[in-house]
Structure 1
Amino acid sequence: MAKFYSSNRLHHLTKLLSFIAVVFVLSGCSDPAQSLMDDYASRLGRTLGLEIKAPSARDLEPLPSITTTRADIADSSISLVELVATRACGLDVLLGERNSSLGKVMTPSQRLKYELAFLEQVQPCLNNPEIAPDLQQKLAAIASDKTRQIDKHWQNFLQQDETLRQQLHPYRSLSEPNSVAGVAETIQALHSLLALQKSIVEQNWQQASSINPEQALEALYKANTLSQLQQSLRFSQNWLQSLNQQLEQLDLKVVCPAGKHSDKAEILNTILLQYFIGKVQVYLAQVDGTYQQLYPLLQQLYQGTAPEQPISQRFEVPNTELKAELKRHVIWWKAVQQQCPKS
């Protein structure tokens, strides 16, 4: 028994050490974009004799809650006899799906798909001679109600869907440097949703029902580009603002006394060319390029909705502020070049 206990204890110890090793390796992994910025800042700090401090986290305006944005929509009912009668025009299958156990717990995207499919498929029923006139009138009234309600279903989709809300929350990592992965797929998904939105406004039910919003959601989920873009914008702006504030407190006359040769001038020029212009500025231009392609589409999609303002605060505001901080940083570098010219 004692031998078994020792062996078992050794087994658990080995597992624990393996777990610790995995945690150590994972904790040692860093975000490539953040590492790029940290490397640049640390090189500046060592050369200038300045301890660069990490920026403090910034508060994020919350998205409107699901409960406050949910639109309650009255449901229509149809008897079993009437449902069977709609078999003559092919509506019975769709109505049966809605009345199933899964149909009663539809996600916002599934419910939107159903409503659009109903509005498209009910049209032949309204002129079908095999459908009784009283049932035709009932179906026409239901179709009229659903036409008035469809915008609420669209709003519920935009504001309640988990995948869309996930894209409006910052991701834990930044966009990869030198990568445009997921951008084309995200553009296509947003264009698809905008086409769906346009079809609903125009009440083109045939076209609207042919656009599957869940395909767009799947593309957005796999790419996760909007979430990463948001994090990249907010982090980069906060990081550069903090760096600028610390650098501007430095007296460049002490760093490079006038009339005295300083090796720091050569080192600073290398940091400027290889690390700021060659890496940091390239990355920020990449982020801005992605923003220019995606944000106008996102803004158009959510125009006039409750999340419109928080979305602006998460994308447009940090992008504008990041550009301002970038100009501020360039001005600082010009001052460095004037005070610390290359020999």
Structure 2
Amino acid sequence: MSKKQLVVYSFLALGIGAFSYGLIYWQKPLSERLFQDYSSRLNRVLSISIKAPKQTPSLPQIYWRDYLKKEPELSLSLLDSITLKHCGLDQLVFEKNSSLGKHASADYTLVWHIDLITGLQTCLANNHLDAQLKASLQHILETKRAVINVYWHNFLVNELSIRHLWSSQQAIGKNPLPSYRALATNLTELSHIHGELVTSHSINKKQLLRLSEKLQKGASILALLQELNATSAWLNKVTMALDARQFSCQESKAEYDILRNILTKVYTANVQDYLAELDQSANAVINSLSPLMQQSHAELLARASAIHLEFKQANRKHVKQWKQILDSCT
């Protein structure tokens, strides 16, 4: 290999290495990139060593089957359904007993339950029904109406688009608030669907299916909780390091000026802005989650609220630490 080729290959290797490093860096969560910059500047000025905190899982492993409620076993024979063909019940029973019906998605299963309730109401309005069959249909209808919240509960647990909220590890962007406000709006709309279901035993099928699609493509609650967790850990690390350093502006005016520069141009301008977006995102999501999932996902909801509270406490402690430093120098 000639000297010229060696130089070219060396530059290529350096370029590939730099590109790989840059790619890895920009794939890191924004909280990690912001706090690495913030902490490294403090380390240089104060001669301290703030290291990245260990990452801990935001949520325990979720066993969705444990969240399900038992549904009543109700049956309508195929023979009975054939006699009720004019009500449309025959088609509903065939659908449920087909291979597709047995493996239908949670949203379609919920729609099927509501369609059956509607079909039963229509059939019972027919005065030509056999008395025994009519009594059987009345029992099924009353039972299904009584457990409509069980069907809704199991929909919330089984629906893949809702599981996605608690399991997707998609990255959060620089400005997450619009995405989480959109998620909060969708969750509120889902609560309204539940309200309509309870009061009128009806459901807007297109609206429900459209919402399932939006939730599947939308922001992740788990990703938000992971960022809240990570930033809380970073804030606590930096706060403890600043507290232990016992900085005195009387001893070093130059250090104090640099610290103020880090505070205004790094923490306030970059870190704090991002933290504010996370806080507002968490407020929006948790407020919309509470009425919707306080029964079906109580443990997850409690964990989300606890993570948000820890985040707010870490923020307050950090601001208080900076205030102590600034007050000591005025």
Q: Please state if 1:188 is matched with 2:185.
A: yes
Alpha-carbon separation, structure 1, partners of 2:51 and 2:123: 69
Aligned ranges for residues 1-343 of structure 1 at < 5 Å?
A: 26-29=23-26, 30-60=28-58, 62=60, 65-129=63-127, 131-169=129-167, 171=169, 173=171, 175-202=172-199, 204-206=200-202, 208-210=203-205, 212-253=207-248, 256=249, 258=250, 260=251, 262-305=253-296, 307-313=297-303, 315-340=304-329
Change (3 A) 1:289 1:91: same
Counterpart AA for 1:32? L
2:78–2:93 CA contact under 8 A, matched in 1: no
2:181–2:284 CA contact under 8 A, matched in 1: no
Q: Which runs of 5+ in 2 are unaligned?
A: 1-15
Alpha-carbon separation, structure 2, partners of 1:241 and 1:223: 30
Counterpart AA for 1:311? L
2:89–2:120 CA contact under 8 A, matched in 1: yes
2:167–2:222 CA contact under 8 A, matched in 1: yes
TM score, norm. by length of structure 2: 0.84
Bigger mean CA offset, 330-339 vs 262-271: 330-339
Alpha-carbon separation, structure 2, partners of 1:23 and 1:310: 37
Alpha-carbon separation, structure 2, partners of 1:212 and 1:32: 34
Change (3 A) 1:167 1:262: same
Counterpart AA for 2:265? Q
Alpha-carbon separation, structure 2, partners of 1:263 and 1:339: 15
Alpha-carbon separation, structure 2, partners of 1:22 and 1:152: 53
1:108–1:153 CA contact under 8 A, matched in 2: no
Counterpart AA for 2:201? W
Alpha-carbon separation, structure 2, partners of 1:179 and 1:98: 41
Shift of 1:160: 3.2
**Residues 268-288 of structure 1: per-residue CA shift (max 9 Å, x gap):** 111111111111111111111
Shift of 1:125: 1.2
Shift of 1:339: 4.3
Shift of 1:152: 2.0
Shift of 1:59: 5.0
TM score, norm. by length of structure 1: 0.81
SS in 2 for 1:62: coil
Alpha-carbon separation, structure 2, partners of 1:81 and 1:321: 59
Alpha-carbon separation, structure 1, partners of 2:129 and 2:37: 73
**Residues 86-108 of structure 1: per-residue CA shift (max 9 Å, x gap):** 22123332222112111012233
Q: Which runs of 5+ in 1 are unaligned?
A: 1-18
Counterpart AA for 1:251? Q
1:168–1:227 CA contact under 8 A, matched in 2: yes
Counterpart AA for 1:309? E
Counterpart AA for 2:258? I
Shift of 1:340: 4.9
**Residues 187-226 of structure 1: per-residue CA shift (max 9 Å, x gap):** 2321222112223332x123x2546534322212211242
Alpha-carbon separation, structure 1, partners of 2:136 and 2:227: 53
Identity of aligned residues (%): 25
Counterpart AA for 1:263? A
1:88–1:131 CA contact under 8 A, matched in 2: no
**Residues 31-50 of structure 1: per-residue CA shift (max 9 Å, x gap):** 33421222112111111111
Shift of 1:20: 9.9
2:294–2:301 CA contact under 8 A, matched in 1: no
Number of residues of Structure 1 aligned to a counterpart in Structure 2? 314
Bigger mean CA offset, 283-292 vs 64-73: 64-73
Alpha-carbon separation, structure 2, partners of 1:22 and 1:163: 35
Alpha-carbon separation, structure 1, partners of 2:258 and 2:119: 71
Alpha-carbon separation, structure 1, partners of 2:73 and 2:137: 13
Change (3 A) 1:276 1:96: same
